[in-house]
Amino acid sequence: MRNNKLTPYLFLLPGCIILGAFIFYPMLQAIWMSFTDYNMITDPSFVKFDNYTQLFQDDLFWKTLTNTLIYLVGVVPALVIAPIFLAVLVNQKLKGIAFFRSAYYIPVVTSLVVAGIAWDWVYKENGLLNYVLDLLNIISEPIPWLTSTQTALFAVMVVTVWKGLGYYMIIYLAGLQSIPDSLYEAADIDGANWWQKMIRITIPMLMPFVLIVTIMSSIAAMKVFEEIYVMTGGGPLHSSETLVFYIYTEAFDRLNMGYASAAGVILFLLTLVFSLINLKVMGKDNSE
Amino acid sequence: MAKQKKQAPNRKIVKKISLYILLIAVTLFMIGPFLWLLSTALKSGSENIFQYPPKLLPEEPTLSNFSTVMEVFPFWRYLFNSAVVAVLTVVLNVLFCSLAAYPLARMNFKGKNIIFVLIIATMMIPFQLLMIPVYIISLKLGLQNTYLGMVLPHVTTAFGVFLMRQAFMTVPKSLDESARMDGANSFQIWLRVLMPLVKPAMVTLTIFTFVSAWGDFLWPLIIVNDNDMYTLPLGLNMLSGTFTSDWRLIAAGAIISMIPIITIFLLLQRFFIGGAMKGAIKG
């Protein structure tokens, strides 16, 4: 390999072939397919905007879109705020603190199928959660968490939050450790209490990380699928069905490839806002 | 500091104890569901697992559920499939991403910026949109029910290219130049000079890729329908669908399939947590 003009392209070739074959080409194909009727058996036929107009008239589509937004609004604040306190907690200089850090990280590394099964069992009517809430006198009757239209979506959201806490905690921990000790020492001299230090020093210094976590958890919340698939199957009565679940069932259960692609394009447009902010943040880090 | 010294020793101990209570309470929330599953898996057939109030500990702990589930759940087969998929994904990802990152960090060439922007732009496209055409393409390429089929769509990521490029940029250029003086070509410089110096970034990328490949569910669910090719999550999902009424077996199966990743995590936790921290700062 001589150092000629081709060299850089040779290095880029394998990665670009993969990205081309499995991202760029499929992207174009997905957009094109969203304007066709295609069931994998007969050839696709061009139907212009039919899939989109049908989509906007489909109550189930609106329902899944609403559920997705509820998911976003419920999960993101929890995943942005709670891990800050966890990070502060595991940043204490205490004996055995590494053990707790690891324990909190375990849900992150376990697969969602295992997590879903574990929580499904916790949520049973005679299960652990109802028992604990009963002991604490919070509820008088057991709640069928996953089988009631009132609670199913909420119950799955809890699992998403629980599984993400450890990961975002570590991100904030990286942030905490980048705050110079001298700031806290100065605050101590001024007689600041724990809460004042938290509000005046910790949170403001963590803001860049708060932004990262907000974007990451928002994009993840828009794409939630596995938890739903494993725990509720979108039910009962579609009450926990999200947009990606809808895309999945339209595409792979009903083979409405064109229609599902149109719903996928909508998903893409919705996540685009967050992605663009993400790119901007990355670009800023990059130029520094 | 002066203020802290004035604190009575009693207050310090109270503070410490309350911190530990808090830490333990959170621990129960984080791993409680797994412990509860384990307790159920250890309960014998004579015990009613649906009784209320639930018994936290098994009356007569037994391992029989584990041996029963091993008869119906081809754990080793699934573990092997998961391992092949995860290792292939990691190796190809680290290779392709660091190859692509090198010219982007070090060389000047036509189209460099546009190529970099296009690579980063792939981050914006959700796989949940691509899965439909990628499924069709994979069928055409004969990739259904193959390891390559599960692996190929994930072997280059914008995150990986970005991470490796950042790592290469921190290596002083003088090192490349002196290697070039000694007659090394670009490939040799990449392999012998740069790669050994970016090991921390490689570890980060390895861990990230490994965890996501190991836990991946959606794509294998689509591209695999042959039981023999199931990875652990797919196999476990089928197990829980088959034995819906027998929660002892489901619990035992779930616990067994957790063991490999938990073992790896406990052995390498330093890298898992360090890697996640670095990933946070870099991208």
Q: DSSP per residue over B40-65, as a string?
A: HHT--TTS-TT-SSPPSS-SS--SHH
Angle at B236 between CA B231 and CA A121, to 5 degrees: 150
Range B24-38 average pLDDT: 95
Mutation to test the A interface, candidates B3, B20, B24, B30, most A Cβ within 10 Å: B30
A285: confidence class by pLDDT, cuts 50, 70, 90:
low
Q: What is the spatial distance between Cα B67 and Cα A28, in angstroms, rounded to a whole number?
A: 50
Residues 6+ apart with CB under 8 A from B137: A21, A22, A25, A26, A29
Angle at A65 between CA A60 and CA A66, to 5 degrees: 95
Half-sphere exposure of B45 (CA within 13 A, CB side): 6
Query: Which residue among B109, B129, B153 sits closest to A8, beta carbon to beta carbon?
Result: B109
Q: Does B128 touch chain A (CB under 8 A)?
A: yes
Q: Residue A152: inside a domain, yes or no?
A: yes
Whose structure tokens read 């604040």?
A77
With 70 as the cut, is the pLDDT of residue B282 above it?
Answer: no
Q: What is the spatial distance between Cα B251 and Cα B230, in angstroms, rounded to a whole number?
A: 19
Put simply, the chain A residues between 23 and 52 with a CB less than 8 A from any chain B CB are 23-27, 29-30, 33, 40
Q: Does A136 touch chain B (CB under 8 A)?
A: no
Q: What pLDDT score was predicted for residue B271?
A: 86
- The secondary structure element, H or E, covering residue A115 is helix A112-122
Range A8-28 average pLDDT: 95
Whose structure tokens read 């970016």?
B198
Q: Does B41 touch chain A (CB under 8 A)?
A: no
| Helix runs in B122-223, H state only | 127-140, 147-151, 158-169, 173-181, 186-188, 195-197, 199-215, 218-223
Interface pTM, i.e. ipTM: 0.89
**Are residues B131 and B52 both part of a single domain?**
no
Put simply, the chain A residues between 185 and 214 with a CB less than 8 A from any chain B CB are 185, 188-189, 191, 209, 212
What are the tokens at A34?
A: 């969203």
Q: Verify whether the Cβ–Cβ distance B277 to A174 is below 8 Å.
A: yes
Range B173-197 average pLDDT: 91
Q: Tell me which DSSP letter residue B122 carries.
A: G
B190: confidence class by pLDDT, cuts 50, 70, 90:
very high
**What is the tens place of the pLDDT at every residue in B139-181?**
999 999 999 999 999 999 999 999 999 999 999 999 988 998 9
Q: What is the spatial distance between Cα A129 and Cα A154, in angstroms, rounded to a whole number?
A: 14
> What is the distance in angstroms between the CA of the first residue and the CA of the last residue of chain B?
36
Whose structure tokens read 């520094």?
A288
> Which is nearest to A159 in space by CA: A102, A98, A78?
A78
> Which is nearest to B19 in space by CA: A109, A95, A104?
A95
With 50 as the cut, is the pLDDT of residue B49 above it?
Answer: yes
**Are residues B260 and B174 both part of a single domain?**
yes
Q: Does B183 touch chain A (CB under 8 A)?
A: no
With 70 as the cut, is the pLDDT of residue B107 above it?
Answer: yes
Question: Which of B22, B44, B62 is a domain's end point?
Answer: B62
Q: Verify whether the Cβ–Cβ distance B273 to A102 is below 8 Å.
A: yes
Q: Classify burial at B244, counting beta carbons within 10 Å of its beta carbon; exposed 0-12, middle 13-18, buried 19 or more.
A: exposed
Range of the domain at A125: 48-287
Question: Which of B62, B95, B113 is a domain's end point?
Answer: B62
**What is the tens place of the pLDDT at every residue in A97-133?**
999 999 999 999 999 999 999 999 999 988 899 999 9
Query: Which residue among A126, A166, A189 sits closest to B52, beta carbon to beta carbon?
Result: A126
Q: What pLDDT score was predicted for residue A1?
A: 45
CATH code (residue B104): 1.10.3720.10
For chain A, what is the mean pLDDT? Answer: 91
What are the tokens at B116?
A: 């970099």
What is the domain count for chain A?
1
Q: Verify whether the Cβ–Cβ distance B262 to A265 is below 8 Å.
A: no
Range A162-168 average pLDDT: 95
Provide, as residue numbers in chain A, all residues whose Cβ is less than 8 Å from the Cβ of B131. 248, 251
Range B258-283 average pLDDT: 81
Q: What secondary structure does DSSP assign to A262-283, as a single string?
A: HHHHHHHHHHHHHHHHHHHHHH
Q: What is the spatial distance between Cα A276 and Cα B163, in angstroms, rounded to a whole number?
A: 19
> Which is nearest to B233 in space by CA: A50, A227, A7?
A227
CATH code (residue A218): 1.10.3720.10
Nearest residue of chain A to residue B209 (CA atoms): A109
Q: Are A37 and A44 in contact (CB under 8 A)?
A: yes
With 80 as the cut, is the pLDDT of residue A286 above it?
Answer: no
B281: confidence class by pLDDT, cuts 50, 70, 90:
low
Q: What is the spatial distance between Cα B39 and Cα B274, in angstroms, rounded to a whole number?
A: 32
CA of B109 vs chain A CAs: smallest distance (Å): 7
Q: What is the spatial distance between Cα B270 and Cα A28, in angstroms, rounded to a whole number?
A: 41
**Are residues B35 and B171 both part of a single domain?**
no
Q: Does A269 touch chain B (CB under 8 A)?
A: no
Q: What is the spatial distance between Cα B17 and Cα B163, in angstroms, rounded to a whole number?
A: 41
Q: Residue A30: inside a domain, yes or no?
A: no
Q: What is the spatial distance between Cα B139 and Cα B149, in angstroms, rounded to a whole number?
A: 9
Provide, as residue numbers in chain A, all residues whose Cβ is less than 8 Å from the Cβ of B124. 268, 271-272, 275-276, 278-279
Whose structure tokens read 């929890």?
A78
**Are residues B75 and B55 both part of a single domain?**
no
Question: Which of B37, B62, B87 is a domain's end point?
Answer: B62
Residue B140, SS3? Answer: helix
What is the domain count for chain B?
2
What are the tokens at B275?
A: 């890697």
> Which is nearest to A111 in space by CA: B58, B67, B62, B78?
B78
CA of B169 vs chain A CAs: smallest distance (Å): 11
Range of the domain at B96: 69-282
Put simply, the chain B residues between 217 and 236 with a CB less than 8 A from any chain A CB are 217-218, 221-222, 232-234, 236
**Are residues B169 and B52 both part of a single domain?**
no
CA B62, B68, B73, B79 dihedral sign is: positive
With 50 as the cut, is the pLDDT of residue B255 above it?
Answer: yes
**Are residues B34 and B122 both part of a single domain?**
no
Nearest residue of chain A to residue B19 (CA atoms): A89
Provide, as residue numbers in chain B, all residues whose Cβ is less than 8 Å from the Cβ of A165. 30
Mutation to test the B interface, candidates A19, A41, A94, A227, most B Cβ within 10 Å: A19
**Are residues B124 and B24 both part of a single domain?**
no
**Are residues B140 and B77 both part of a single domain?**
yes
Q: Verify whether the Cβ–Cβ distance A24 to B16 is below 8 Å.
A: no
Q: What is the spatial distance between Cα A30 and Cα A260, in angstroms, rounded to a whole number?
A: 9
With 80 as the cut, is the pLDDT of residue A93 above it?
Answer: yes
Specify the range with the lowest mean pLDDT, choosing from A135-139, A277-281, B84-88, B155-159: A277-281
Q: What pLDDT score was predicted for residue B2?
A: 47
Provide, as residue numbers in chain B, all residues whose Cβ is less than 8 Å from the Cβ of A9. 103, 109
**Are residues B144 and B41 both part of a single domain?**
no
Q: What is the spatial distance between Cα B276 and Cα B280, in angstroms, rounded to a whole number?
A: 6
Q: What is the spatial distance between Cα A277 and Cα A219, in angstroms, rounded to a whole number?
A: 11
Q: What pLDDT score was predicted for residue B280?
A: 64
> Which is nearest to B213 in space by CA: B200, B229, B232?
B232
Q: Under the phi-then-psi rule, with left for phi > 0, alpha for psi from -120 to 50, and beta for the rest, what region is A162?
A: alpha
More confident residue, B49 or A87: A87
**Are residues B107 and B133 both part of a single domain?**
yes
Q: Residue A241: inside a domain, yes or no?
A: yes
Other C-beta atoms closer than 10 Å to the C-beta of B228 total 10
Q: Residue A217: inside a domain, yes or no?
A: yes
Specify the range with the lowest mean pLDDT, choosing from A185-189, A208-212, A221-225, B274-278: B274-278
Q: What is the spatial distance between Cα B211 and Cα B265, in angstroms, rounded to a whole number?
A: 10
With 60 as the cut, is the pLDDT of residue A211 above it?
Answer: yes
**Are residues B227 and B164 both part of a single domain?**
yes
Q: Tell me which DSSP letter residue A233 carries.
A: T
Specify the range with the lowest mean pLDDT, choosing from B71-75, B119-123, B161-165, B279-283: B279-283
Q: Residue A32: inside a domain, yes or no?
A: no
Q: Does A216 touch chain B (CB under 8 A)?
A: no
Q: Verify whether the Cβ–Cβ distance B124 to A191 is below 8 Å.
A: no
**Percentage of residues in chain A having pLDDT higher than 70:** 97
Q: Verify whether the Cβ–Cβ distance A188 to B3 is below 8 Å.
A: yes
B6: confidence class by pLDDT, cuts 50, 70, 90:
low
**Are residues B140 and B43 both part of a single domain?**
no
A288: confidence class by pLDDT, cuts 50, 70, 90:
very low
Whose structure tokens read 């695999």?
B224
Q: Residue A18: inside a domain, yes or no?
A: no
Q: Verify whether the Cβ–Cβ distance B277 to A171 is below 8 Å.
A: yes
Q: Residue A20: inside a domain, yes or no?
A: no
**Percentage of residues in chain B having pLDDT higher than 70:** 95
B45: confidence class by pLDDT, cuts 50, 70, 90:
confident
- Distance, CA of B120 to chain centre: 21
Q: Residue A268: inside a domain, yes or no?
A: yes
Q: Verify whether the Cβ–Cβ distance A257 to B132 is below 8 Å.
A: yes
